[in-house]
Amino acid sequence: MIHHVESAVFLALKALLAGQMHTDTDASYRPIDALLAGYCAGALDRPTHSLIASHLLLKPDNRAFVAALEGLAAQEVEHLSPVPLASRDERLAAIFGSKDAAPVLPSSSTLPAPLLRLIGSDVNDLKWRNKIPGVREYRIAESGRVGNQSRDSLTIVCSMPAPRSSLYRDEAIILRTQKLGEADRIITLLTKEHGRIRGVAKGVRRTMSKFGARLEPGSHVDLQMHAGKTFDTVTQVEAIMNYGEAISDDYQRFTIAQAILETAERFTHQEGEPAPQEFALVVGGIRALAENRYDASLILDAFLLRSLALGGYAPSLSACSRCDAPGPHRYFSLVGGGSVCMDCRPSASATASADALQLMQALLTGNWDLAQASELRYRREASGLVTAYLQWHLERGLRSLSIVERV
């Protein structure tokens, strides 16, 4: 003897919806409420049930509503009388006699788990059908039902990025160059819209090259590229600003510029992924060096701190990184994420002065008046903390930092 749980739950939820949110004119009524009630009652077909379960995973706002519906339905079930289940033995034999193996699902997927179990494969393995240019779809089921109401076919719709034209134009700053063959070079660029890319500049090492000196590290250029399978090809370059002469005249500024460019390459891990904030940070740092606006060491430390912040590794400087106790605190921990209090400090924490932490905070927030007024000993202390913190999170050192000249 068992309860007709599904029917009872569905009737209870139907009564609830009729009594509390029964009209479309009611301000509290939402069209999705009927689907959520059907989900709680188990009255949805499998595709619709999977979609609602995926919705609840992705949008927690409706979880409380579903929990409330399930609680009300449980109260109704308690008052039901048990009835016999027809064909009990046949149903149990069919369940235990089933030999269908559970599908092997991918360990990691962009799809929610309920939808992945329904489809049985990840998005990259589906047979997509182009709907309109830039949009494709995959049909989950030809039809679905919610209660007694029929629904149209259930589909996944996915927007596809527009294919990159074979010729494209972008603003870029040159990060690094490598020799290729007798007269060519591989150019590593950080672009404004396409992120970090690598391209080939053909004939750039010849004396009469049309590119001249516009493709040297640190140059800010506007260029045209031809997309290729392995490397894109540089076809045209126009200089926006060439900082070579201003930076190369001073050894300290030159080595710091190399450190900035190497750091930018390390923080843009994925080729072709746009990084407009990092691009603006690199351009601003190189321009500040060339114009000699501030002390070169301060520019480097400010760039490193802001790059760490963009990468999600901003150190805590004004409060304890573990208990959030207001500072300043005496200790700085690479493992702990910055400034730590006496109670939270892990082993091997460095002792940092309040003035050095205040200087780092000023560099991170752009308070250049306070940074310029700092004493030399606190600048050296802050530089050491920033360098150690950067190399800890990058997991290996920057080669150019070893040749940077600190005052």
Q: What is the mean pLDDT of residues 56-81?
A: 77
Q: Which residues pair with 197 in a beta bridge?
A: 189
Residue with the bigger pLDDT between 64 and 297: it is: 297
Higher per-residue pLDDT: 53 or 162? 53
Which band of pLDDT confidence, cut at 50, 70 and 90, is reported for residue 209? Answer: confident
For 51-74, what is the mean pLDDT?
A: 79
Residue 49 has pLDDT above 60, yes or no: yes
**pLDDT over 90 (residue 368):** yes
- Tell me what the mean pLDDT of segment 248-255 comes to: 89
pLDDT at 287: 93
User: Which pLDDT value is given to residue 99?
Assistant: 61
Residue of higher predicted confidence among 201 and 99: 201
Q: Any idea which of 6-20, 162-176, 295-309 has the lowest mean pLDDT?
A: 6-20
Give dist(CA 248, CA 218) in Å, integer: 10
Domain ranges, ordered by start, for the chain = 5-77, 294-407
Q: Does the structure show a pLDDT above 90 at 280?
A: yes
pLDDT of residue 281: 94
Q: What is the pLDDT of residues 297-306, one digit of tens each?
A: 999 999 999 9
For 109-113, 175-179, 288-292, 370-374, which range has the lowest pLDDT when averaged over its residues? Answer: 109-113
pLDDT (average), residues 180-194: 91
pLDDT band at 22 (very low <50, low <70, confident <90, very high): very low
Q: Can you give the pLDDT at residue 146?
A: 42
The better pLDDT of the pair 29, 239 is held by: 239
The three-state DSSP-derived secondary structure of the chain is: CECCHHHHHHHHHHHHHHHHCCCCCCCCCCCHHHHHHHHHHCCECHHHHHHHHHHHHHCHHHHHHHHHHHHHHHHHHCCCCCECCCCHHHHHHHHHCCCCCCCCCCCCCCCCHHHHHHHCCCHHHCCCEEEECCEEEEEEECCEEECCEEECCEEEEEECCCCCCCEEEEEEEEEEEEEECCCEEEEEEEECCCEEEEEEECCCCCCCCCCCCCCCCCCEEEEEEECCCCCEEEEEEEEEECCHHHHHCCHHHHHHHHHHHHHHHHHCCCECCCCHHHHHHHHHHHHHHHHCCCCHHHHHHHHHHHHHHHCCCCCECCECCCCCCECCCCEEECCCCEEECCCCCCCCCEECCHHHHHHHHHHHHCCHHHHHCCCHHHHHHHHHHHHHHHHHHHCCCCHHHHHCCCC
Stronger pLDDT, 64 or 326, i.e. the higher one? 326
Mean pLDDT over 379-406 rounds to: 87
Whole-model pTM above 0.85?
no
The share of the chain scoring above pLDDT 70, in percent, equals 80
The residue that leads in pLDDT, 25 or 191, is 191
Q: What is the pLDDT of residue 156?
A: 59
